[in-house]
Structure 1
Amino acid sequence: MGLSHEKMVHLSHVVTNALDADDAVTFLKTHNQVRLEVVEALRRESAQEDEIEHRARRKITSMKKDIVEGSPEWDILYGKFVEEERDKRRRVR
């Protein structure tokens, strides 16, 4: 599960305030427009991470052997499958 909407909004304020305070950064849009774009970027990344986790879980449950969630074997497979999905997405970008 990803970040809550409230956490994304909070992070968007933190990020845009930090950028606004940096003399090397000039916003080409209003502060709020930039903040809203940060929220949208966080939402997209969170949704993508949720999809990756869903695919990893689906791979584990589709295996012939019944693997109990939380077991060392499950944790290893989950980590492996999550990384495989992330690698696939990195290659596509």
Structure 2
Amino acid sequence: MRLSHDKIIHMSHLIIDALENDENAEFKEDKNEIRNEIVRIIIQELKKDEELEDRARQRIRAMQKNIPEGGQEWDVLFRKYYEEEMGKHRKVKE
């Protein structure tokens, strides 16, 4: 998923606003610093997701059979390979 920088910043403001309205949340740091960290984390996670998508696409391209992107077979393989790559990524994180 690709999001514009403005959209990511908007999301960070929504998160901070939601936390401000939560009586169980307490800010121990400056809200702007927290918002900046939220932006950084979202960008980092989106980059990781793009890398996983690229790996899934590469696996499909590496197949002997030419499978055009956007078709049903391609979509099924993409989901399968993406989930496999996501599983590998989770194992590395743990």
If the length of structure 2 is used for normalisation, what is the TM-score? 0.94
Q: CA RMSD in A?
A: 0.9
Offset of residue 91 of structure 1: 1.1
Q: Is the 8 A contact 1:8 1:39 kept in 2?
A: yes
Aligned positions of 1:32-47 closer than 5 A: 32-47=32-47
Q: Distance in 1 between matches of 2:69 and 2:7?
A: 27
Give 5+ residue unaligned stretches, structure 1: none
Whichever residue aligns with residue 89 of structure 1, its letter is: H
What is the DSSP-based 3-state SS (H/G/I as helix, E as strand, rest coil) of the residue aligned with 2:68? coil
Whichever residue aligns with residue 51 of structure 1, its letter is: E
Percent identity over paired residues = 42
Which ranges of 4 or more aligned residues in structure 1 deviate by more than 6 Å? none
What is the DSSP-based 3-state SS (H/G/I as helix, E as strand, rest coil) of the residue aligned with 2:78? helix
Give 5+ residue unaligned stretches, structure 2: none
How many residues of Structure 1 are paired with residues of Structure 2 in the alignment?
93
Q: Distance in 1 between matches of 2:85 and 2:7?
A: 25
Whichever residue aligns with residue 53 of structure 1, its letter is: E
In the alignment, which residue of structure 2 is the partner of 1:5?
A: 5
1:43-66 deviation line (CA, Å, top 9, x unaligned): 011000100111110110111110
Aligned positions of 1:58-77 closer than 5 A: 58-77=58-77
1:1-45 deviation line (CA, Å, top 9, x unaligned): 421111100000000111122121111110100100110110011
If the length of structure 1 is used for normalisation, what is the TM-score? 0.95
Q: Is the 8 A contact 1:2 1:47 kept in 2?
A: no
